Amino acid sequence: MTANQEEIATVAELIKASRIALLTTINNHGQLTSRPLAVQEVEFDGDLWFFSQDPSDKTTEIAANAQVNVSLESGKGYVSIAGTAEIVHDAAKVDELWSKRVEAWFPEGKEDPSIALIKVHADSAEYWSTDDPKPVIFFKVAKAAVTGGQPDIGENKTVDL
């Protein structure tokens, strides 16, 4: 693996370990608005998928300005993805991504006419990853606060995707 392939693999691992993402859009006043969405369990290939109702504030905002950010946290670290989003109405893709977790939000089922998918194409990602357990991280941060140093709690990189 090249360094970039390893970095992309790290981003993919952090995404896979996350259950909830914050999708940030730009509203009609130019303000950033973040909303939690469930991460769909697919292999990261540069695109992220989320279910949404359409119409909704977020789908309207994406239609007006496709620039978005997706932030994720897992016990293994954090990742922030900058990219462009689009609203997708595709019954086959809905069927592919459908799960019991999604069904809770759409009680009418897959045929609910308000179902849409948000596809985020990642342009870049910045991640912070660690292999240390949380108690060790907390100790390193506390030690740095006392000694005046900066804690070494993992790796931070920016990746063009």
Tens digits of residue pLDDT in 75-112: 889 999 999 999 999 999 999 999 999 999 999 999 99
* Strands, E assignment, 9-114: 20-26, 32-38, 47-53, 67-74, 77-88
Band of pLDDT at residue 3, cut at 50, 70 and 90: low
Q: What is the arithmetic mean of pLDDT over 48-69?
A: 98
> In angstroms, rounded to a whole number, what is the distance separating the alpha carbons of residues 6 and 118?
27
pLDDT at 41: 83
pTM given for the model: 0.88
**DSSP symbol at 44:** -
pLDDT above 70 (res 68): yes
CATH class of 3-160: mainly beta
By the 8 A CB rule, do 34 and 22 touch? Answer: yes
pLDDT at 103: 92
